[in-house]
Amino acid sequence: MAPAASAQSALSIRDLAFAYPSDGREVPFQLTIKHFELARASECLLVGRSGGGKSTFLQLVAGLLEPQQGTVKLDDIDLFVRSTNRDLLRGAKLGFVFQTFNLLQGFSALENLMVALMFSTLPKSEWHARGMSLLAALGIDKPNASVEELSVGQQQRVAIARALVCKPALVLADEPTASLDPENAKIAMELLREHCRVEGAALLVVSHDPSLVPLFARVEQLQSLATAGGAR
Amino acid sequence: MTDFTIVLRSLRVRLFSTIVTALLVATSAGLLLTILSLRSAGKAAFERGSGNAHLLVSADQSPLVAVLNGLFYANPPRAPLSQAKVSEIRRLFPWDFMVETQLGDSYRGFPVLATTPEFFTKFEPVVGEPWAPASGKFFDGNMQVVLGAACARETGLRMGAKLVLTHGSGASREGGEGEEHGHVHREYEFEVVGILKPTGSPHDRALFVSLESSWILHAHDRREREGLEGKVTAADLLEDDRKVTGMLLRLPTRSGSNVSSALQQVFDTLRRDTSITVAQPADQIDKLFNIVANVDGIFIALAIVTLFSSAVAILLSMVNSMAQRRRQIAVLRVLGASQSRVFGIVLTEAAVIGLLGSVAGILVSVIALTIATAWLRESLGLIIAPDFDPRASVIVAAGAVALSALAGLVPAVMAYRTSVSTQLRPLG
């Protein structure tokens, strides 16, 4: 019997089953997760081999893919019921940090945050102050500089600020250190964890980088989630 | 920050492509507007030249040619009317005016109209806008010349200047008073006694002298051929020297009365005389524009095709840019943008290119019209006031925006279907 979901869950997954449509030539990729739970303001490192379904897992959590069965709850809201607007929920409850930052080119650092705020539930009157204060907290002293003008380290910080600016319940970090050298990877990871703690957001880092393992108290194997649930 | 800010930023990131595509729309929208404006302005310019004469009589081969020659100075009429015929027509009806004219001479390529003083006092080049001298006076004697406004401007002739006329079309305007296109009447010098205010009609290109002056010039040529020497005076003129090539006729009108039925009756009576050609100038101009309407239609169709091709250019440009843009779209999707919202953003981008292009097209059209009217005035003497129809501009701009948005459908669908997973990282 699966454990009961916590009332304070940032992410709750139960009996999830997903398979890509078959093209008739080979067996399609399938992902099953019996049970996964991540409490608010907690953190977890999800590791797995390349091609093991980490990206698929993230898209399911973001509501960008729809499972054949099971439930995914973000901040206790079921993503895959008819009444849920998944785009709105993603904008309000989720923050993303990508391997290559994926900042919007041609936009300033502040504008990258403002774009994220467009899809949030925060009042418009708070957007500017919220963006400016978060950028300042992350050490960005030129908020109006175009992101192309920023150093790689600064771009990483802007990406972290963008993930947190909407006060999400959960931040998903997809290989956040893959494009950084070990020293900068460690700095970036510490920065991300620290600011998630400050903002009260849960952090789920998906990576195949073994150097991250010692940093996290909770480490899950994606493959093991298929059979044994993890809740903390 | 709004969706529209994203649209503008996206266009700015692809600035070169945006400008080139918008310029393409601008060119085609501008071309379409220019053709539409020139069509209406051209007709208005032609209508201005017909003046207040109800009828034009000449010995030309057709009514249309009579109007083109008699009022638009296309060519000297083929043959003159005899004085007997002129007198016969004069007696036929109680005309309000009957102005005799003679064409055939020129000055540096500008046509010379020999006529009677009634041409200035009764005939109006534009209905309700009588002749007015900008300086000097209308001629009141022989060997005096009055210049049309455009002729004065382009020849640089001033009050008191002396000139000689050429029989025939004369030398080129740039050249002097050469004889390469006709005989120069060097024996009789004309003095500029008046320069007319512009009328916006082809008459502005002409020079005006008294009919008797012209008869004297040609009587001199006749006498030379006969071996007679000396200057000719009015007393030396024979009946055969008193040739006219056209007559401008107007029936009496009373305020509130309709002249059309009487005019038709007179017209029918005159038409029975096969030795003359009688034309109603306004009708002939309508007929001329009906003939050229097909050509107009072809030009307009070509401009519309160009507009469609610019929409295809928008489509290609945006589809090409989608390779770079898919990542941006995937980021927007991850941040919370719905598929329909990114669809709308891409569609708006296409529409904005169309809008920018059509606004630039309106400017292109104004510039093209200015150049075209200057060229028409310079080369054809056709004075066209750039007449910009705001309704046509709005319709063309709306059409360009709609077409651009239509062209944006394909990239918008591509944006709608963008796979987030393949754009943001390799599938894991």
Task: Inspect the interface and report whether the beta carbons of B428 and A48 lie closer than 8 Å.
Answer: yes
Q: What is the mean pLDDT of residues B125-144?
A: 92
In a domain, B219, yes or no: yes
Which domain CATH number covers A115? 3.40.50.300
In a domain, A3, yes or no: no
Q: Which of B13, B328, B337 is opposite residue A119, by nearest beta carbon? A: B337
Cβ-Cβ pairs closer than 8 A, A with B, add up to: 88
In a domain, A82, yes or no: yes
Chain A residues with CB-CB distance to B6 below 8 A: 115
Q: Of B355, B362, B365, B363, whose CA–CA distance to B400 is shortest?
A: B355
Optimal mutation site among B334, B338, B340, interface A, most CBs of chain A within 10 A: B334
In a domain, B50, yes or no: no
Min CA distance, B324 vs chain A (Å)? 10
pLDDT on residue B170? 55
In a domain, B403, yes or no: yes
Q: Of A81, A91, A144, A159, whose CA–CA distance to A122 is shortest?
A: A91
In a domain, B243, yes or no: yes
A114 vs B: CB within 8 A? yes
B354 lies in the same domain as B397: yes
A88 vs B: CB within 8 A? yes
B329 lies in the same domain as B403: yes
Chain segment B372-393, per-residue pLDDT in tens: 777 766 665 566 666 677 888 8
Q: Which of B334, B336, B428 is opposite residue A56, by nearest beta carbon? A: B428
B20 lies in the same domain as B144: no
Complex-level ipTM? 0.82
Q: Which domain holds residue A119?
A: 9-231
In a domain, A1, yes or no: no
Q: Which domain holds residue B302?
A: 3-45+287-424
pLDDT on residue A207? 85
In a domain, A168, yes or no: yes
B195 lies in the same domain as B335: no
pLDDT on residue A127? 92
Of residues B364 and A231, the one with the higher pLDDT is B364
- Per CB distance under 8 Å, which residues of B are interface residues toward A? 1-3, 5-6, 9-10, 12-13, 327-328, 330-339, 341, 420-421, 424-428
Of residues B304 and B59, the one with the higher pLDDT is B59
pLDDT on residue A230? 45
Please identify among residues 124-163 of chain A the ones whose CB lies closer than 8 Å to any CB of chain B. 127, 162
Task: Inspect the interface and report whether the beta carbons of B9 and A51 lie closer than 8 Å.
Answer: no
pLDDT on residue B75? 84
In a domain, B82, yes or no: yes
> In sequence order, which residues have a C-beta less than 8 Å from that of residue B141 and are 6 or more positions away?
B210
B123 lies in the same domain as B268: yes
Question: For chain A, how many structural domains are there in total?
Answer: 1
The last residue of a domain, from among B245, B279, B313: B279
Angstrom CA distances, B27 to A143, B207, B304, stand at 40, 40, 11
The beta strand positions in B228-385, using DSSP E, are 246-250, 277-279
Q: Which of A88, A100, A106 is opposite residue B13, by nearest beta carbon? A: A106
In a domain, A224, yes or no: yes
B37 lies in the same domain as B71: no
pLDDT on residue B169? 62
Q: Which of A55, A107, A206 is opposite residue B421, by nearest beta carbon? A: A55
The last residue of a domain, from among B222, B255, B279: B279
The span from the CA of B238 to the CA of A61, in Å, is: 110
Chain segment A122-169, per-residue pLDDT in tens: 899 999 999 998 898 888 888 999 989 998 888 888 988 898 888 888
In a domain, A2, yes or no: no
The last residue of a domain, from among B226, B250, B279: B279
The span from the CA of A110 to the CA of A91, in Å, is: 17
Task: Inspect the interface and report whether the beta carbons of A50 and B428 lie closer than 8 Å.
Answer: yes
Chain A residues with CB-CB distance to B424 below 8 A: 98, 102, 174
Task: Give the strand order in the sheet containing A202-207.
Answer: A94-97, A170-174, A202-207, A43-47, A219-221
Query: In this model, does residue B327 exceed pLDDT 70?
Result: yes
pLDDT on residue B196? 95
pLDDT bracket for residue B426 (50, 70, 90): very low
The span from the CA of A53 to the CA of A48, in Å, is: 8
Rounded to two decimals, the pTM is 0.66
Angstrom CA distances, B395 to B36, B390, B400, stand at 11, 9, 9
Chain B residues with CB-CB distance to A52 below 8 A: 428
Question: For chain B, how many structural domains are there in total?
Answer: 2
In a domain, B168, yes or no: yes
B309 lies in the same domain as B400: yes
B86 lies in the same domain as B176: yes
The span from the CA of A161 to the CA of A113, in Å, is: 7
Task: Inspect the interface and report whether the beta carbons of B421 and A56 lie closer than 8 Å.
Answer: yes
Query: In this model, does residue B260 exceed pLDDT 90?
Result: no
B196 lies in the same domain as B303: no
Cβ burial, residue B85 (10 Å; 0-12/13-18/19+) = middle
Instruction: Using the Cα atoms of residue A159, residue A160, residue A161 and residue A164 in order, give the sign of their dihedral.
Output: positive
B147 lies in the same domain as B198: yes
Using DSSP, state whether A7 is helix, strand or coil: coil
A102 vs B: CB within 8 A? yes
Query: In this model, does residue B174 exceed pLDDT 50?
Result: no
Q: What is the mean pLDDT of residues A98-105?
A: 83
Q: Which of A90, A103, A114 is opposite residue B1, by nearest beta carbon? A: A114
B242 lies in the same domain as B359: no
Which uninterrupted H or E stretch holds A202?
A: strand A202-207
Chain B residues with CB-CB distance to A175 below 8 A: 425
Task: Inspect the interface and report whether the beta carbons of B335 and A115 lie closer than 8 Å.
Answer: yes
Task: Inspect the interface and report whether the beta carbons of B428 and A117 lie closer than 8 Å.
Answer: no
B94 lies in the same domain as B229: yes
